[in-house]
A and B are shown apart, each in its own frame.
Chain A
């Protein structure tokens, strides 16, 4: 659709010389859009391929997995692999229960504590606040490994090894990243309601609970989901503190995966792995708007 500008004001020279595909700016942009879309679509196939391969492997027979050259698609999908992978020696029912307690508890603790702390930093004025906030941000840079050994020793002395206490208790004291994220959101809220409430004699805690929390529910929800997601996948923490199989979360259970009759049975391993990815995927698709918002806020304004 080349631009048909036949008005006498336009000099006829340019359209006559520059014909063809690149004739108009609009045409050029359309071509760029089409090429970009094609590259992005091909890239998407590449990016999603590993997950497809995971699904395909999980439905193969043991013979198909060990076949050379490998087969792309199993002849008959072996749905029974999923039952075999998740039961028997692998108690994924217990692992999932433990994971839900861990991830749910951690999300609750982090959300609650971060919502409180972020309000202090976003709204209340006190001398030394800015310096303290810089300290909060600085702890984000701190490698987790520096505090790990002394923390381990403290928790070992408390007799908390092989329980979820060392993993859950610290979550009730906030996390720098989520405090930062919520503070950024609180700062965008209008101050009118709070000022009105203050004049009416409301206390700061009441303001936080009755005004700020309801107004920031989307952000608080995003923080809760992010925290849940992180702890659902956490491997390092449970690896250090959890020893017995009946306390394993999904991440450790998967790493310790035992195939019936021994040997690495990749079809069963992939079946179990895929199942563990389903909860985060579902949660992500349901709440992706909040997720993307959260990442963008911290990324750009960081």
Chain B
């Protein structure tokens, strides 16, 4: 989303008022007025439900506040307390591990599937629709419950398949019976990753349309130059769709860092973060502090740190991508 605001100097006839926000001409004024009328729902919503809450959240993060009594100013105490809180560090680690594992894998599978589907596969529409279906349902409570059942170590289907294939009496008897998934702290994040990968059809869809936008002339030229399919993939396909890869990476990271529903549902709402804090996702801990312990100040500090981390990560990803992401010269200019 590289925004190049190529500002066309506004036509100034006589006296534009209010720092140029009100144009001079009568017709322009009328149009500008209607612009503000049309976008007024968003402006009101932005002020009331975004800007004011952000400012208040910054204020609350400097207070001790339990809703029942008014906030008490404590300065940076909440931030210092978080810094010394081992569960908080654990929540950061859990979220970071999940993000690093699930986002690249999702991109990898999404891209691979898109490339395969792009090889003149028949009934493309049917495949596309059916692969996208899990992505559509992925965030629901039903799917979280389904995976907690699929990953049940004893009665679940996934270990049943593992046992059938490589169990003691399986097709290839290696004696592998499958891990304890959501009950083993070491396997909790891989389990959540598996669940998120089930929805990789969403990224696939974006890549597929990007692939269809790559001019075939480029492949023909590469072929004349003697490039094989693998070389074509790395030297034509990847550079051409790199802005889309960056987009899915950034949105993927932001999404993964905010994992909540599945983590909450799988713990049954009772033992948030169980077993042994291994599923204590960042926002689960935030929720726990805010709505179970009513430490609104502390939770606001957590939310603000999340905001800053997301902001810095996004900027870092844009910055790092300057070398690797290839943008076609954009005719349209701004956005």
* B-binding residues in A (CB < 8 A): 29, 32-33, 36-37, 39-40, 43-44, 47-51, 53-54, 57, 65-70, 113, 116-117, 119-121, 124-137, 139, 141-154, 156, 170, 172-174, 179, 204-205, 208, 229, 233, 235-236, 239-240, 251-252, 254-257, 266, 269-270, 273-274, 276-277, 280-281, 284-285, 288, 291-292, 295-296, 299-300, 302
Contact = CB atoms under 8 A, between A and B. Distances in A.
13 contacts: A120-B36, A124-B35, A125-B28, A126-B35, A142-B54, A145-B258, A146-B57, A149-B57, A149-B296, A254-B142, A255-B265, A256-B269, A281-B136
B265 to A, nearest CB: 5
A278 to B, nearest CB: 10
Contact of B119 (A33, A69, A256, A284): A33
B interface SS class: helix
| Residue picked from B32, B116, B154, most chain A C-beta under 10 Å | B116
B116 A134 contact: no
Nearest to B71: A153
A254 B145 CA distance: 9
B44 A173 contact: yes
Nearest to A133: B335
B147 interface: yes
A300 B205 contact: no
Contact of B269 (A143, A255, A295): A255
B314 A141 contact: yes
Given A50-B147, A124-B31, A170 B45 contact: yes
Given A173-B46, A251-B140, A302-B251, 15 more contacts: A37-B122, A39-B116, A50-B157, A117-B38, A127-B23, A136-B42, A141-B254, A153-B56, A174-B41, A233-B141, A281-B136, A284-B129, A299-B210, A300-B206, A302-B247
Contacts of A281: 133, 136-137
Interface residues of B, number: 106
A229 B138 CA distance: 12
Given A68-B155, A296-B206, A302-B1, A146 B261 contact: no
A135 B3 CA distance: 12
Contact of A125 (B31, B129, B157): B31
A254 B141 contact: yes
Contact of B261 (A125, A204, A236): A236
Interface stretch (B78-86, B181-189, B271-279, B301-309): B301-309
Interface in B17-73: 20-23, 28, 31-32, 34-39, 41-42, 44-46, 48-50, 52-54, 56-57, 60, 67
B150 interface: yes
A243 B283 CA distance: 20
Given A153-B67, A270-B149, A124 B1 contact: no
Contacts, number: 287
A117 B34 CA distance: 11
Contacts of A67: 155
| Residue picked from B50, B56, B141, B306, most chain A C-beta under 10 Å | B141
Nearest to A171: B45
Nearest to A235: B261
Contacts of B145: 254-255, 257, 269-270, 273
B72 to A, nearest CB: 15
Interface in B178-234: 198, 201-202, 205-206, 209-210, 213, 229
B5 interface: yes
B29 to A, nearest CB: 9
B303 to A, nearest CB: 5
A130 to B, nearest CB: 6
